[in-house]
Amino acid sequence: MPEELEGLYYRGTLSPPAIEFASPQGKQLFTEALEGGTMEGFFKLISYYQTQSEINYCGIASLAMVFNALAIDPGRTWKGTGPWRWFDDTMLDSCEPLSKIKDEGVSFAKVAYSAYCNGANVEAFRTNESSIDDFRRHVISSASSSEDSHHNGNGHYSPIGGYHAGRDMVLILDVARFKYPPHWMPLTLLWEAMDTIDESTGQHRGFMVISRSHKAFVSSLMHSSGHEDLKKVAKYLIEDVPPRMKLKDIKGVENILSVLFKSAPVDLKDFIKCVAEFWRQEDAGVFSSKIEKEEVLKLVEETELFKHLNRWLASEISSCKSLISFGFNENTVFHMKLSLLDQTCRKETNLTLAKADGAKPMTLVSGKIRTNGIDQGIDMLLVPSSLTSQSRNLLHPSTAGILTLLVLALRQRTWAGIKQENLLAQFNHLTSIDNLPTPLQLEVLHLRRQLHFLMIDLRGPSLSG
């Protein structure tokens, strides 16, 4: 800071061709753009304009501003005081601890992932995957829309508040307001600034188009689970599973499921447990009411894939195979510590029917198992999948339901290595999402996109702050 400015108000000075929003020329640009219909998103954004609270919080401050403009419910009160529910940047720690973001910034992929986690739909474009014409088209579309508004952001992250068609300029609502005020910038110059390589990672920068998404319970599940563990699960499902499908001895659907899940990383068990814990909390979830959860759960259980998975899991339970390594099955009453299940095998099993209070018959699995050389009795009550969610004591999906979502989220090319043509056609039919009911299809696509972003992050996204 110059010596003559010590003790005085100070921030950076804009250099031409940037034009300060509050200047006479900036006001004229605003008036013309407003008349041209390309300032429609401005008013909601300006209502929630905020300054990033830390030097490297530009990414999460931009998200908080956009989320509030889109009226996305954070699922909790601001600073723990009711009834005010809105976002600030300190609430967006789903992808990285705030302490790490404060020191290093947050990556392009993790900003997109955090937006998904908090209920937004995100289209993310690196400049080597797009063009200046694409960028301009997205800016015009966002700036012209007042219904289901879309908002643009770039890195250093800040939302774009409007567009002037005659001058081909964008209005930058810079969240680093301690540096620069809102200002107009030529779109071509902004593109050139984005179309650079991060020297630390070798990757291009880019922009995102963020809009309000459908309400998705998967987003909250992903939000609540460990990010690093999820990356391991994503890598296994996307990179490791396809080669395993080329094995010659795959002869049926249950065989495919065995190959898929018996070699899964232990983190899959934690993921399943996380999902189950989430569903037990009837008031949990930023984006799904109890009714919405029940609807999606019912739709999952009506799929043919779910029925195959349910039969396979029941078979694994009855023979005490590798399912035990998952630790539990939410279709069962199975009260044992997870640590005791890892080295468990069946010694004998009896199947009987049980009935209580006029309910439908349920299968009671009774017998002895050996755990670390010690025999002990066990009873498991298998609840028929046909039971409605209203008859459950706790609202949560079965293990089969969770695994059904994961399998549906994998792209069809995952199964291309299956050698038997009839089996390949059958499994492609089972895993196709084309004819799924819309709520379930949206959930599956949402999970698929998040797995994709986890893989992008795993391969080394660029940091920006």
pLDDT band for position 66 (50/70/90)? very high
Q: Is 319 left (phi over 0), alpha (psi -120 to 50) or beta?
A: alpha
Nearest to 51 by CA among 174, 154, 208: 174
| Residue 157 Cα to chain centre, angstroms | 20
- Distance, in Å, from the CA atom of 265 to the CA atom of 235, rounded to the nearest integer, reads 10
Answer whether residue 99 shows pLDDT above 50.
yes
Cβ atoms 368, 385 nearer than 8 A = no
- pLDDT exceeds 70 at position 23: yes
Residue 46: what pLDDT? 95
171 beta partners:
162, 184
pLDDT bin (cut points 50, 70, 90) of residue 316 is: confident
Residue 205 has pLDDT above 60, yes or no: yes
Q: What does the pLDDT read at residue 447? A: 77
172-186, 245-259, 286-300, 448-462: lowest mean pLDDT where? Answer: 448-462
Q: Is 58 tagged catalytic?
A: yes
**What is the percent of the chain where pLDDT is above 90?**
34
Catalytic residue among 88, 150, 164, 174: 174
Mean pLDDT on 145-171:
81
What integer pLDDT is reported at residue 319 of this predicted model? 59
Greatest mean pLDDT among 14-23, 306-315, 355-364, 390-399: 14-23
Counting Cα atoms < 13 Å in the Cβ hemisphere of 280 gives: 7
Q: Determine the number of helices (DSSP H) and then strands (DSSP E) in the chain.
A: 18, 14
What confidence score (pLDDT) does residue 287 get? 40
CA distances from 381 to 234, 318, 353, 368, 388 (A): 32, 12, 9, 15, 16
For residues 74 and 330, the model is more confident at 74
Q: Is the pLDDT of residue 184 over 90?
A: yes
Per-residue model confidence as pLDDT tens digits over 257-284 = 999 988 888 888 777 776 666 655 554 4
274 belongs to the catalytic site: no
Q: Is 184 exposed, middle or buried (CB count within 10 Å of its CB: 0-12, 13-18, 19+)? A: buried
What pLDDT score does 270 carry?
Answer: 74
Q: Is the pLDDT of residue 214 over 60?
A: no
Q: How confident is the model at residue 164 (pLDDT cuts 50, 70, 90)?
A: very high
Residue with more model confidence, 190 or 290: 190
At residue 365, the 3 state secondary structure works out as: strand
- Residue 68, pLDDT > 80, answer yes
> Which residue in 414, 423, 353, 409 sits closest to 381, CA to CA?
353
Order of strands, edge to edge, in the sheet holding 158-164?
19-20, 183-186, 169-172, 158-164, 150-154, 206-212, 120-126
Q: What is the pLDDT of residue 76?
A: 74
Of 240-244, 352-356, 384-388, highest mean pLDDT: 240-244
Mean pLDDT of all residues in 223-230: 59
More confident residue, 256 or 228: 256
pLDDT reading at 301 higher than 80: yes
How buried is residue 403: exposed, middle or buried, by Cβ count under 10 Å (0-12/13-18/19+)? Answer: buried
For the stretch 285-297, pLDDT in tens is 434 456 777 788 8
Are the C-beta atoms of residues 383 and 365 closer than 8 Å to each other? no
Residue 341 has pLDDT above 80, yes or no: no
Q: Which of 32-41, 70-79, 273-282, 390-399 has the highest mean pLDDT?
A: 32-41
What value does the mean pLDDT take over residues 425-446? 87
Instruction: State the pLDDT confidence band at 331, using cuts at 50, 70 and 90.
Output: very low
Range with the lowest mean pLDDT among 140-144, 336-340, 397-401? 336-340
The predicted structure's pLDDT at residue 410: 93
Catalytic residue among 150, 151, 156, 183: 156
- What pLDDT, on a 0 to 100 scale, did the predictor assign at position 183? 96
> For all residues of the chain together, what is the average pLDDT?
76
Residues 33-51: tens digit of each pLDDT: 999 999 999 999 999 999 9
Residue in the block written with tokens 């879309």: 150
Q: For the residues 429-450, what does the mean pLDDT come to?
A: 83
Angle at 144 between CA 133 and CA 165, to 5 degrees: 55
- The mean pLDDT of 83-87, rounded to a whole number, is 85
Given this model, what pLDDT does residue 304 score? 96
Look at 229 and 309; give whichever has higher pLDDT: 309
Residue 338, pLDDT > 60, answer no
- The verdict on whether 156 is a catalytic residue reads yes
Least confident of 80-84, 132-136, 363-367, 454-458: 363-367
For residue 88, pLDDT over 60 is answered with yes
Higher pLDDT, 382 or 449: 449
User: Do 445 and 97 contact (CB within 8 A), yes or no?
Assistant: no
Structure tokens at 155: 């890195």
